[in-house]
Amino acid sequence: MKHIYLNLKRFDIPTETGGVNRIASPAEWGPYIVSHTQDQLAAYNPKDVEFAMFFPEAHLIGAVSARKADSALKIGPQSVLGQDTAVGGNFGAFTSNRTGNAMKAIGCDAVLIGHCEERRDKLSIIAEGKGTDAAAVNRILNKEIKAAIAAGLDVLYCIGENADEQPRWQEVLKEQLTVGLEGVDKSKVTIAYEPVWAIGPGKIPPDADYIRKIASYVKEVTDGMDVVYGGGLKTDNAKMLASVKEIDGGLIALTRFSGEIGFYPDEYLEIIKTYLGY
C-alpha cells in the first residue's frame, strides 16, 4: 500500500499577519481543503492508497464535517497527549492539551506524532529544566503513540537526524524506533523519515540513494514496517521518490515554495498524480 500524508502545520494564518493562507478565510480554511480534494482522491483505489490530512486543532471539526460519508480521506491532529480519559479514571482534566479520545470523539482517524518540530519543542522544555536527557523525548513520544492507538487512531510516527547527528544516523534512528515503538502495535503505525539536516532554505535534499539506504535500514530495524519520505513530497521530487521501491509514500506540506508560497489544493492533487504515475 502507498500512503500520502498532508501536514498543514500553521498554514491557516493569513498573509497580513505573516502566514501563507491565501485560499480561504480562517473559518472556512479546513472545509475548503477537504471539499476541494476529496472527490478527486476518490479516483484512486482506496485499497491501494491511504490519504490522511493533519490539521491544526482549530480546524478539525470543520474538516471532519466537510468530509463525505464515503470519502477515502482520513483526518487527524498534529500529535496527542500521552495520557487520556478512562472509565473509572481521569474524566478529562487535561487543560491546554488534546487527547486521543477527544480527537476520536470529533471524528478523527489518524494522528501525526514525533514531527521534528514537536521533537524540538519537547527538547526545549527539557533544556529549560536544565535537563540533558534527550532520549526522554522518545519515551514521551512512545506514550503518545500508545495513547493514540488506544483511542483508535492510526499513527504516522516521524523520525530523523539533524546535522549534528548525521554522522551517527544509525544510532539516532535506531533509538527513535526502538524506544518510540516499544510495546506498540506496529500494525497501527507508519514511519515517516525526515532528513532534518536537509530541511530549510538553501539546504540540499537527500538523493535517491540516501533515501533508499535510510528506508532499507528502517525496514530492517522494524521488521518491514511501511516507510514514507517525510522531508517533503513535492512536484520536483515526486518521480524520483516513486522510483525508490523501498519508500511507501510521502508527506506533503507546502505545495509552492516561491512567489506566493503556501498550500494550494490543486497543486496538492498534481503532486499525488505525479507520484502515483497517473
CA dihedral in degrees (5, 6, 9, 10; nearest 10)? -160
List Cα–Cα distances, 197 to 23, 164, 192, in angstroms.
31, 8, 15
Complete domains list, the chain, with CATH: 2-276 (3.20.20.70)
Alpha carbons 142 and 176: distance in angstroms, whole number: 9
Alpha carbons 116 and 112: distance in angstroms, whole number: 11
3-class DSSP state for residue 103? Answer: helix
pLDDT (0 to 100) of residue 265: 98
Q: Which residues in the chain belong to E strands, given as ranges?
A: 2-7, 49-54, 73-76, 110-113, 154-159, 189-193, 227-229, 249-252
| Catalytic site positions | 115, 194
pLDDT (0 to 100) of residue 6: 98
pLDDT (0 to 100) of residue 202: 81
In order along its 278 residues, the chain shows pLDDT tens digits of 999 999 999 999 999 999 999 999 999 999 999 999 999 999 897 779 999 999 999 999 999 999 999 999 999 999 999 999 999 999 988 999 999 999 999 999 999 999 999 999 999 999 998 877 888 999 999 999 999 999 999 999 999 999 999 999 999 999 999 999 999 999 999 999 999 999 887 889 999 999 999 999 999 999 999 999 999 999 999 999 999 999 999 999 999 999 999 999 999 999 999 999 98
Quick one: the chain helix, strand, coil %, rounded to 5? 40, 15, 45
pLDDT (0 to 100) of residue 45: 78
